[in-house]
């Protein structure tokens, strides 16, 4: 079975870049990405590559090479499914906000809607690939919906595969082009090999791992849970370093050079954000409780609890250092994205920290090179507006067009995202624009401490017991 036509449902952070790379590496395969969101599809088709809906370094040139050749974006979901011999489901699976499992279980309404659309529109034999992060055994639900459509003569038939995505935002193109591994889970060997053949166009065979469906689904949750656990572990030690006079970067280097531990993912910071880590762990927690393993559930839940604590801790610490009150004070927030090189703010630590500071009555001037003011307003659930009476106790925020604008008249600067631009700022010049005594809170430890101190600012760095 050789795949000629792929349809991907969902043109988001996962579907868009993944399909762009598949189309780029497999010119013989026609790849169509479909979405119900017309504005998103229009943006993917925009002649101006700067307007792509997802910002990823290198994505524009991949799209430029493949788009219009064998990569197409459309809202005609059913026609695209009907023409495809392989359909990827890459729709959003956020945590449920209400009902059974609220706050923990994944909301599968979009996945289920997709499965029903595939069941209705597919022709002939179709391989359906789960690409979205899904709770273990979701494939079974998809399979059941599809099987119901297969009954009777001349009806479509289906094979379901799990092919979790391990790309990280900001490095998506590199992760897709040179993945550590590709994981394909499934019970139909012919379908597994058909998908493996696609990846084999650029991924060495020994890096294409085949497993059963459930192992594949669980591996995705486990990989994210382990990665997030490392961040909570180092952040817990960062707090202890601050209390005890140690430096978390020295500790991280000392432990990371043990080859069993390794150096990656040991940067202390304001806590992890992004659409995956918290969602996947909460999912794991929910499933463990469901399967009667409360101790296991509690163990993983503590990783999220520590992350939330770290974010509140930083906000609290800013208030304490600024003489116990930030009411009416101007605070410059540098960075709103959940990490550098992305415009994504989902679960960004900046959201919780800014909300806490607004609650305390602060006036925030928020700068981010990629995040729009509209997005910030949605995340903070508050429109940008100047506060006429700064001491009224009501917090407010405004977008700052540049770092200079943000820090002018500010009592403190908070660095919340590690954008490269923030690492090379001239603190001597910036400090002169601030109200004294002025503070710099470097939650990412990316600013040169000597320069900041020479500029007369008082510095707090995450995990720095000297600060």
The residues carrying an active-site annotation are 276
Rule CB under 6 A: is residue 255 a binding residue for ligand UDX? no
When binding is defined by CB under 6 A, the residue of 3, 7, 8, 15 that contacts ligand ADP is 15
Rule CB under 6 A: is residue 309 a binding residue for ligand UDX? no
Q: Give the closest residue to 62 by CA, choosing from 28, 17, 30.
A: 17
Question: For 416, phi and psi rounded to 5 degrees?
Answer: -110, -15
Rule CB under 6 A: is residue 10 a binding residue for ligand UDX? no
* Count of residues interacting with ligand UDX (CB under 6 A): 19
Region from 201-209, 271-279, 314-322, 446-454 binding ligand UDX, contact rule CB under 6 A: 271-279
When binding is defined by CB under 6 A, the residue of 1, 200, 227, 384 that contacts ligand UDX is 227
Rule CB under 6 A: is residue 338 a binding residue for ligand UDX? yes
Kindly give the interhelix angle for 213-244 and 248-256, rounded to the nearest 10 degrees: 130
For ligand UDX, give the closer residue by CB, 146 or 446: 446
Rule CB under 6 A: is residue 93 a binding residue for ligand UDX? no
Strand partners, 186: 161
Q: Give the closest residue to 41 by CA, choosing from 93, 84, 87, 77.
A: 77
Return the ∠ at Cα 428 (arms to 415 and 238), rounded to 5°.
35
For the residues of 30-48, what is the DSSP string, one character each? EEEEE-S-HHHHHHHH-SS
Residue 139, Cβ neighbours under 10 Å: how many?
23
Region from 84-92, 400-408, 425-433, 455-463 binding ligand ADP, contact rule CB under 6 A: 84-92
Rule CB under 6 A: is residue 231 a binding residue for ligand UDX? yes
Q: Which of ligand UDX, ligand ADP, none interacts with 13 (beta carbon under 5 to 8 A by kind)?
A: ligand ADP
* Count of residues interacting with ligand ADP (CB under 6 A): 20
Rule CB under 6 A: is residue 134 a binding residue for ligand ADP? no
Return the ∠ at Cα 134 (arms to 72 and 18), rounded to 5°.
25
Residue nearest to ligand UDX (CB): 274
Buried b (16+ CB within 10 A) or exposed e, 26-61: beebbbbbbbbeeebbebbeeeeeeebbbbbebbbe
Residues that bind ligand UDX (CB under 6 A): 165-169, 224, 227, 231, 265-267, 269, 272-274, 276-277, 338-339
Residues that bind ligand ADP (CB under 6 A): 9-15, 35-37, 40, 77, 90-92, 110, 113-114, 132, 275
């Amino acid at each position: 079975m050789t795949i000629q036509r792929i349809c991907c449902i969902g043109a988001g952070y996962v579907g868009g870049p993944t399909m762009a790379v598949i189309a780029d590496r497999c010119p013989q395969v026609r790849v169509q990405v479909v979405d119900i969101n017309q504005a998103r599809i229009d943006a993917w088709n925009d002649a101006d590559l700067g307007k792509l809906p997802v910002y990823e370094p290198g994505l524009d040139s991949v799209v430029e090479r493949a788009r219009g050749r064998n990569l197409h974006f459309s809202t005609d979901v059913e026609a695209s499914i009907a023409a495809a011999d392989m359909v990827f489901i890459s729709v959003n699976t956020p945590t449920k906000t209400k009902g059974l499992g609220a706050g923990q279980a994944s909301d599968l309404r979009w996945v289920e809607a997709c499965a029903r659309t595939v069941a209705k529109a597919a022709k002939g034999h179709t391989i359906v690939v789960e690409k979205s992060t899904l709770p273990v055994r979701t494939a079974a639900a998809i399979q059941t919906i599809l099987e119901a459509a297969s009954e009777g003569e001349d009806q479509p038939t289906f094979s379901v595969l799990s092919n979790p995505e391990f790309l990280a935002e900001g490095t998506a193109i590199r992760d897709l082009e040179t993945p550590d591994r590709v994981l394909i889970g499934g019970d139909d060997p012919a379908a597994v090999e058909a998908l493996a053949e696609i990846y084999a166009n650029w991924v060495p065979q020994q890096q294409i791992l085949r497993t059963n469906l459930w192992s594949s689904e669980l591996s995705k949750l486990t990989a994210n849970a382990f990665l997030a656990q490392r961040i909570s572990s180092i952040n817990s030690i960062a707090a202890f370093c601050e209390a005890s006079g140690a430096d978390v970067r020295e500790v991280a280097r000392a432990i990371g050079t043990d080859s069993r531990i390794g150096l990656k993912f040991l940067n202390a910071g304001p806590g992890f954000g992004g659409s995956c880590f918290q969602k996947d762990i909460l999912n794991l927690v929910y499933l463990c409780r469901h399967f009667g393993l409360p101790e296991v559930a509690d163990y993983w839940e503590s990783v999220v609890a520590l992350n939330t604590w770290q974010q509140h801790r930083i906000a609290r610490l800013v208030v304490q250092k600024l003489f116990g009150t930030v009411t009416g004070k101007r605070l410059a927030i540098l960075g709103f994205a959940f990490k550098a090189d992305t415009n994504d703010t989902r679960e960004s630590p900046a959201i919780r920290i800014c909300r806490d500071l607004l609650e305390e009555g602060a006036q925030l001037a928020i700068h981010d090179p990629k995040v729009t003011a509209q997005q910030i307003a949605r995340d903070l659930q508050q429109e940008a507006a100047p506060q006429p009476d700064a001491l009224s106790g009501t917090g407010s925020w405004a977008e700052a067009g540049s770092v200079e604008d943000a820090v002018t008249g500010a009592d403190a600067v908070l660095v919340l995202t590690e954008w490269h631009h923030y690492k090379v700022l001239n603190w001597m010049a910036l400090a002169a624009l601030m109200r004294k005594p002025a503070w710099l809170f470097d939650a990412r430890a990316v600013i040169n401490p000597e320069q900041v101190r020479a500029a007369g600012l008082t510095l707090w760095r995450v995990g720095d017991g000297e600060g």
